[in-house]
Amino acid sequence: MRQAVASANLVIHCAGPFHHRDARVLQTCIETKVNYLDVSDHRSFTQKAIAYSDAAVKAGVTAIVNTGVFPGISNSMARQCVEQLDEPESIKINYVVSGSGGAGLTVMRTTFLGLQAPFQAWLDGKWQAVKPYSDRTPVKFPPPFNRVGVYWYDMPETSSLARAFPVKTVITKFGSHPDFYNYLTWTVAHWFPQKLLQNRNFIERLSAISYRMTQVTDRFSGIGVAMQVECTGKKAGQLAHAAATLIHEDTAAAAGCGTGSIAELILANRLHKPGVWTTEQALPTDLFAETMRSRAIDIFQTFSSKVGGAHPT
């Protein structure tokens, strides 16, 4: 691995699920002074990576974690919204994915691994335990998703956004389309014994069954993704609300756009920030908007205030 890394200009770590991965690839990049990105999607890995930040600064290595679609593009959408407010107070992100999302068996493993235990969420200015796939909220997404239920789910954004911005609450909820998959996942989260969910063989069998199901339903549901980000707070002393919505027909391709756009900026020497960062910490909004336009990804934004009313931005 060291020989392969040393010969590269940039390493992109895509070997998930990241729940039990260590940070040896990142460590090797720092030792060989090679810039690093990954598509990690679990807070335990993010915390392991951030621990190498001082070493990356000393080595002059730019390392950015969580660079896919969610986390990744979602983080930058949140930053867009936060920057429209003088005093941001809360961030809420709802995600929905159709079927497999075009991402294969690994995404099934990741989903079920995320049901294993309660996680900490930043609510009302303090960390509180939340049970995964709880508190169903019906959300109206744009077509073709329409109304889908979303549930609490442990994403890296749940903690990273709380640390990146001065907000009191961060809510991250995920759902599947068609909606009946949500009821199946809820059943697994709430009815299956925790020991069973921590059994690797059981997770593998459950993931394989689920993937075979999505291979059938993908034909009519598609493999797209929708994300809605809402940020509330104050602007010029008045209550204000900033929102952003993204829809893409292929979840895996959208993740590639998120990571690929940052890779392009690093290789072109347009993004140089030594250290280990999450996407919202490293990527300025102007560069994010530019790279999304170049990939024909439209992000619809709105802003409203108590005085000025709502308008698109």
Domain assignments of the chain as residue spans, ordered by start: 2-68+253-295, 73-248
pLDDT, one tens digit per residue, over 103-140 is: 877 778 888 888 988 999 999 999 999 999 999 999 99
- Mean pLDDT of all residues belonging to the chain: 93
The CA distance from 174 to 83, in Å, is 24
Q: What is the pLDDT of residue 140?
A: 94
Q: What is the pLDDT of residue 118?
A: 93
pLDDT, one tens digit per residue, over 82-98 is: 999 999 999 999 999 99
The mean-pLDDT minimum among 199-203, 227-231, 284-288 falls in 199-203
Q: Give this prediction's pTM.
A: 0.93
Q: What is the pLDDT of residue 157?
A: 94
Nearest one of 298, 212, 259, 197 to 39, comparing CA atoms: 259
pLDDT, one tens digit per residue, over 36-84 is: 999 999 999 999 999 999 999 999 999 999 999 999 999 999 999 999 9
pLDDT, one tens digit per residue, over 194-211 is: 888 888 899 899 999 998
Confidence of residue 310 (pLDDT cuts 50, 70, 90): low
Complete DSSP assignment for 159-212: HHHHHHS--SEEEEEEEEESTHHHHHHHHHHHHS-HHHHT-HHHHHHHHHHHHH
Q: What is the pLDDT of residue 309?
A: 55
> Which single residue is written with the structure tokens 């280990």?
276
Residue 311 pLDDT greater than 70, yes or no: no
One CATH from 3.60.110.10, 3.30.420.10, 3.40.50.300, 3.30.360.10 for 73-248: 3.30.360.10
Degrees, nearest 5: CA angle 1-280-55: 40
Nearest one of 226, 221, 236, 219 to 70, comparing CA atoms: 226
Residue 300 pLDDT greater than 70, yes or no: yes
Q: Tell me the Cα Rg of the chain.
A: 19
One CATH from 2.60.40.790, 3.40.50.2300, 3.30.56.10, 3.40.50.720 for 2-68+253-295: 3.40.50.720
Residue 312 pLDDT greater than 90, yes or no: no
Confidence of residue 16 (pLDDT cuts 50, 70, 90): confident
Residue 1 pLDDT greater than 70, yes or no: yes
Angle between helices 200-221 and 180-191 (to 10 degrees): 170
Alpha helices in 222-311 (DSSP H): 251-267, 279-282, 285-294
The amino acid sitting at 291 is T
For the chain, the first-to-last Cα distance in angstroms comes to 46
